[in-house]
Amino acid sequence: MKLLSVRNLSVTIRGIPILSELSFDMAPGRVFGLVGESGSGKSMTALALMGLLPHGARRTGSALFQGQDLLRMAEAGLCRLRGNKIGMIFQEPMTALNPPCDHRRPGGRDGAPSRKPVSPRSPCHCPRQA
Ligand SMILES: Nc1ncnc2c1ncn2[C@@H]1O[C@H](COP(=O)(O)OP(=O)(O)OP(=O)(O)O)[C@@H](O)[C@H]1O
Ligand SMILES: [Mg+2]
């Protein structure tokens, strides 16, 4: 069974090839890693699937998610999926996550992580590096 099935995904930006004939499957409940050198197109792959490519981009191929082709969905349909069925954390988590939350901070009575926003200037709670 496949959660997402990408076939022959190609992207150009203002005519410049960015991705060429990329195909892969994601299975439900499994972790999928996409590995490549800087500039190889990992972010563009995610942005293409989310319908968030920059102006001047063109994409071809197919990306079946729950029976729907993400590359052919109207914007309204993608808006219903984004954040509900498909989430994305953009490349710089300290600016992409809003508000930033420290999930290691002790929570309320039920022990759940605190949702209190953390100031970017607050002390870091990471364990000290040796
Ligand atoms: N807005 C843009 N306009 C034109 N080309 C772009 C744009 N953004 C990225 N590119 C190009 O698309 C290609 C793929 O970039 P991408 O950001 O997907 O790489 P990446 O694999 O995510 O790299 P990194 O590991 O550094 O995050 C690169 O050649 C990059 O120069
Ligand atoms: Mg990237």
Contact 58, 81 (CB under 8 A): no
The DSSP string of 87-129 is ----S-HHHHSSS-B-TTS--STT-PPP-PBPPTTSPP-SPPP
**Interval between CA 95 and ligand 2 midpoint (Å):** 15
**Interval between CA 89 and ligand 2 midpoint (Å):** 11
Over residues 40-56, the pLDDT tens digits come to 999 999 999 999 999 99
Distance CA 8, CA 59 (A): 10
pTM for the model stands at 0.79
Contact 27, 4 (CB under 8 A): no
Report the mean per-residue pLDDT for the chain: 83
Q: What is the mean pLDDT of residues 2-15?
A: 97
Which residue lies with its CA nearest to atom 17 of ligand 1?
43
Q: What is the CA radius of gyration of the chain?
A: 18
| pLDDT higher than threshold 50 for residue 126 | no
